[in-house]
Chain A
């Protein structure tokens, strides 16, 4: 691959030294045209020469999230320049999302193998969402969990045997209707008494034995939401 120009933004000198060393020893085609320790230095460097890759730390000096702002501005002002985040923010997952939103090509966490030649090369080839092993592990872990939970809930909803009336009843309960009001809905062929019976029946279906005591309408509606029998995003009353 052809050589390319790199600017490294890193506020801790000793870390900068290590990073430079990685570039020097492992990615010889990269030409480090400048290093910056704070925001103003970054813009000074950009005025001199536009790099192909910006290796960006998120926190600089006292400003701990300024990297997000720099990334956003670089992406708008220099769309050709790739931005790879190289950060020690191991715990702040929210910041990862922010910086991806701001247009970063990838995030490398300063742990494990740190920066590798492969990661840098992938970014230079235009690959989006480049992550190193530790961050990928975290992401996949989360993904697995959410998929599993989703599946469990969907299975549950089917196995609870919810018919159309159950769904409408629960939905209106969740919207704060009283049983009297629900009984008067169009196309609701039940009176208050049988709705009460239906509620008791639903409680038996949706709650395992031992947890049914003291369940009221609110708790029942919440349970229906938790089991995804009701969809929070489509919680609307019937058209009347």
Chain B
């Protein structure tokens, strides 16, 4: 520190002595010497550099180059003080003074330096490509340079490569970084420029840019470079590099102390000896180095490096597990960032960064800085601190703070992506203009034969234009051909999609058909159940009469017993029927995210808003295993109930709670609550009168919703032991609202995957495991997360046989690259974005589990891969090209302008101007078309794109219009048509899905109602019979009460079923009779396979060929099938199917000419009996047709046929032509 001041004072003194009254020549030398000294003080004492440069500036007067060089030195000063805007404006000033090429080169290099630090990749490459050109130019003049210039030249070249290397190093592009360092001119090693030599050694030191045999070898080589930099910088008082080297030593010694002690004992001891006064004995060498570096940087007054050193200090403390100190170091580092910000941009944005402020969650101050174009800051700088903060917070178990910092860190990294979307097409345009100017030069170069040349050019251009146009017309143009290919592919893809949609529609249709058939059958069962009611009424009637007459009477008693027998027979039929279908499991069990259903419910908030009730739907991450549509039905039922019974201003909450075993879905309201008795009834009785629940409520009861919910849960439980945890219940107290809940089994993603193993392709599997990983992290199951990650890695490795396998963690430092980086570099195709995500998630999990080595490995892998896949390899060359093209065209233009202004103008005007316009028109047209293509490819539409060139060249405008129309007609229209088709099909499919789900739910509930009816009412008839048999004359009351009670229960149960049946499944259609007959024949043919003795014979057609009936086609075919099934089951049946017109109806007749059936059989065919269940279904279907056709009177009759045998016919309403 003190020595710095001596040097500064000495420099100033020498300056004052040397400045009075000289000749211009002498003054020039003096300015050069001052500048050279200012340069040599750059890394020693920045204030001296500033003072010397200012002195040179005042002396420079009319010595332009000296003036500019001084400014360049000042730009460096501003750069070191991180005043990037000021440095920029200095560089602009220098440019505007047009100094010699060497100084311009220095300016470019300085520009690169600022851009590298502020993370402006595009401007960096711009400066780089300019610098390269100037270097190429200067290389030729190397021999003629003055010694001062030679020094500058060496500086500029070295600095150029070192900065480029630094840039690549931070972009994780090690190969390029290494290449740049190798390109440093060899003359540097002759100690021409000590500063740059030290800089070069320092660069090789800690960067990981050295290649070696193994990790040890690399470390030792790096140490050697660093040590060299350290010793030299110490010798020459280059405090900046001394501090930098120390900082690097700190990091290096942290992990390699013993290795260095062993292999480099002299250097080790020297360093140790030099730092004994920095508390090295107690705290260890790294801390001593870092402290020393810190003080050096503070003296040098470099905020950036001070912050970095604080970071290093923090890392050391972190390593020593002293998290408090680490945190305070990082906070210090952050403080430096804030200082920098406030110093230059405090007035623009007064907000500063903090390690963690709970108010800032969801907001990122640094992101605001970066997004603000007026503010220049160093993203990598802040990112590094943020990353460390996230680590230290994690170690201190402050999860929220850790997450906040990690998010900031990732945000910053994303903001510094290298690949900017550049219009590659500008490049093409550029090329075109280039050739264009080439032509102009040609024309002007041949001045002597201007007209001749013009003719030649005209001829040539005409041909080219014609060629271009024919290319355009015939689509031989590359972009056009590519576009056509794209259109073809897209159309094929859309056609495939349409086919898929059609198939899905078919599937949905089949689903609806199945469910509808099942529904018809269930309705038939409900009818059967209803068939019992008249018997009950009869018993009731008889009992009434007994009471009225006061006698029992043997006849009445007998009649009651007969009725009871009949009821029991009906019950038996129902039982048998239900039994027939057991085994046809109809719960559609799938695994699905609960949140999907919650979102559907949340969308229905309108009904709640209407009642001024707030519907709150919580977020939920759980997966459950259940029937999706039933679950939605249950949630909806509970939510609707809650809405009904919550007063205005109340709140209904839908939430879910997860345990290891199950997920409990809860619907809470702020209504008036339920009494304990009601709660008991709801949870424990299978049957109850819902209208009696909740007496305090206004009249209306719960309906059957709760009973249905309970029934569904019972059904789950019966289905499999997997559902043993299912439950339904309510927690409520009068006046305090209620919470209805049900439980469904929770699914770990893993379980799901193993269950559905064969169903998924490998890629799906990877994605699913990745999703599980993400979910696991989201729900704080980090150990699970790591398991999933291993699974994903395993799968990925399987996808890439023959490549080095990925690992979750690789401790071997010799493996410089992670496996996926090698894949990426080898051009192996894979989903790298997913791998980046994977590494990030693993890092996150590791962070939360405090596994820091794992974190570091994965974080680094994540960042490196991210940067690699986002690097734009063409960027540097692109800028280079742009620059060159620009300059060349400028030159050509000037030349041609000077040489042949007048003559060429005439020639141009007369001969080529038209062709040029044409040419430009064509080029513009190509650009326009490319844009059109791009728009079509991106948006599948053309909107708002105008051909700007049309004004100058109407012909091109017409072409553009033609092409545009052609694209619309040939590409857009078919695609749009297909898209429309697809959307229609998906809409139709959605409708069918909806219908299917509705039917499915209805069926299941009906199933449930029916089995409840079966169970709950089975026992009464026999009780009644017992009572009736034993009944005495005087004692009618017990029987009367029992009958009444049975009737009550039974009608209650029926109501529950009726509620479901009341929603019609019938769809009124106009069905051609021919089609019905044809379909029936097909069904009959199929059935002959089962009953091989039956045959189908053709019947004469007696109906009009265009006759149509009102029917639901699905139900009608089921009706036919049921009847055919019944009739063909008889031995040797010979069936004919025909249709006859019968007044307003069409009569479908199925006649069996071979069998004769007794009248008794025919009369009872449509009454409940186990042996002809199909007939009951047929009867039910006909009944529905009757109800919904708006014209009662359909018949379904079985009778003996006049011509022999018997027939069953039914009539349907005919549609009058």
Interface residues of chain A, those whose CB is within 8 Å of chain B, are 11-12, 14-15, 17-18, 21, 37-40, 61-66, 68-69, 88, 90-92, 94-95, 98, 110-114, 210-211
Contact = CB atoms under 8 A, between A and B. Distances in A.
Contacts of A63: 1182, 1194-1197
A112 B534 CA distance: 10
A41 to B, nearest CB: 9
Contacts of A14: 535, 538, 562-563, 566
30 contacts: A14-B562, A14-B566, A15-B534, A18-B541, A18-B542, A21-B555, A38-B1197, A39-B1195, A39-B1197, A40-B1199, A61-B1163, A61-B1197, A61-B1198, A62-B1196, A62-B1197, A63-B1196, A64-B1183, A64-B1186, A64-B1196, A65-B1186, A65-B1192, A66-B1193, A66-B1195, A69-B1193, A92-B1187, A98-B1192, A110-B537, A111-B533, A112-B537, A114-B541
**3 nearest CB pairs, A to B:** A62-B1196, A65-B1192, A62-B1166
Given A62-B1178, A65-B1186, A113-B541, A17 B559 contact: yes
A62 B534 contact: no
Contacts of A40: 1199
Contact of A18 (B538, B1167, B1178): B538
B1058 interface: yes
- Determine which residue in B541, B542, B1198 has the highest number of CB atoms from chain A within 10 A of its CB, and name it: B541
Interface string B1164-1206: 0111000000010011001100110000111111110000000
Nearest to B538: A18
B544 interface: yes
B438 interface: no
Contacts of A61: 1163, 1165-1167, 1196-1198
Nearest to A67: B1192
Contacts of A111: 533, 537, 540
Contacts of A110: 534, 537-538
B1210 interface: yes
B629 interface: no
A9 to B, nearest CB: 14
Nearest to A24: B555
A6 to B, nearest CB: 18
A200 to B, nearest CB: 21
Contacts of B535: 14-15
B559 A18 contact: yes
Given A21-B555, A65-B1192, A210-B612, A15 B1197 contact: no
Contacts of A88: 530, 533-534, 537
Contacts of A113: 541, 544
Nearest to B535: A14
A117 to B, nearest CB: 11
Nearest to B533: A88
Contacts of A91: 1058
Nearest to A17: B559
Contacts of A90: 533
A118 to B, nearest CB: 13
A65 B1193 contact: yes
Contacts of B534: 12, 15, 88, 110
A197 B1196 CA distance: 63
A157 B116 CA distance: 79
Interface string B536-556: 011011101000000000010
A92 B1163 CA distance: 25
B1165 A62 contact: yes
Contacts of B1197: 38-39, 61-63
- Determine which residue in B537, B610, B1178 has the highest number of CB atoms from chain A within 10 A of its CB, and name it: B537
Contacts of A12: 534, 1167
Given A15-B538, A18-B541, A110-B534, 19 more contacts: A12-B534, A14-B563, A14-B566, A18-B542, A39-B1195, A61-B1163, A62-B1175, A62-B1195, A62-B1210, A64-B1182, A66-B1195, A69-B1192, A69-B1193, A88-B537, A92-B1187, A98-B1192, A110-B538, A112-B541, A210-B612
Interface in B604-625: 610, 612
A118 B1196 CA distance: 35
Contacts of B1192: 65, 68-69, 95, 98
A13 B969 CA distance: 74
A114 B1193 contact: no
Contact of A114 (B538, B1166, B1182, B1198): B538
Nearest to A40: B1199
A61 B6 CA distance: 122
Contact of A37 (B530, B540, B1163, B1198): B1163
A92 B1186 CA distance: 12
A110 B538 CA distance: 8
A112 B543 CA distance: 10
A112 B1043 CA distance: 12
A210 B562 CA distance: 62
Contacts of A18: 538, 541-542, 559, 563
Interface in B1137-1187: 1163, 1165-1167, 1175, 1178-1179, 1182-1183, 1186-1187
B542 A62 contact: no
A210 B648 CA distance: 11
B1196 A65 contact: no
B924 to A, nearest CB: 47
A98 B1193 CA distance: 10
A19 B352 CA distance: 95
A110 B533 CA distance: 9
A91 B1061 CA distance: 12
B537 A38 contact: no
A45 B1105 CA distance: 38
A79 to B, nearest CB: 20
B73 to A, nearest CB: 70
A210 B1178 CA distance: 52
A211 B1210 CA distance: 53
Contacts of A37: 1163
B1211 to A, nearest CB: 8
Contacts of B1210: 62
- Determine which residue in A18, A37, A90, A210 has the highest number of CB atoms from chain B within 10 A of its CB, and name it: A18
Contact of B1198 (A62, A64, A98): A62
A38 B1162 CA distance: 11
B1146 to A, nearest CB: 15
Contacts of A62: 1165-1166, 1175, 1178-1179, 1182, 1195-1198, 1210
A16 to B, nearest CB: 11
A38 to B, nearest CB: 7
Interface string B154-186: 000000000000000000000000000000000
A114 B566 contact: no
Contacts of A68: 1192-1193
Contacts of A94: 1187
A146 to B, nearest CB: 19
Nearest to A61: B1166
Contacts of B612: 210
A157 B580 CA distance: 59
Nearest to A41: B1163
A11 B1182 CA distance: 17
B1047 to A, nearest CB: 9
A165 B1198 CA distance: 66
- Determine which residue in A21, A63, A92, A112 has the highest number of CB atoms from chain B within 10 A of its CB, and name it: A63
A68 B1187 CA distance: 13
Nearest to B534: A88
Contacts of A21: 555, 559
A15 B535 CA distance: 7
A91 B537 CA distance: 15
A61 B1179 CA distance: 8
Contacts of A17: 559, 562
A40 B1195 CA distance: 12
- Determine which residue in A14, A15, A17 has the highest number of CB atoms from chain B within 10 A of its CB, and name it: A14
A212 B540 CA distance: 53
A211 B610 CA distance: 8
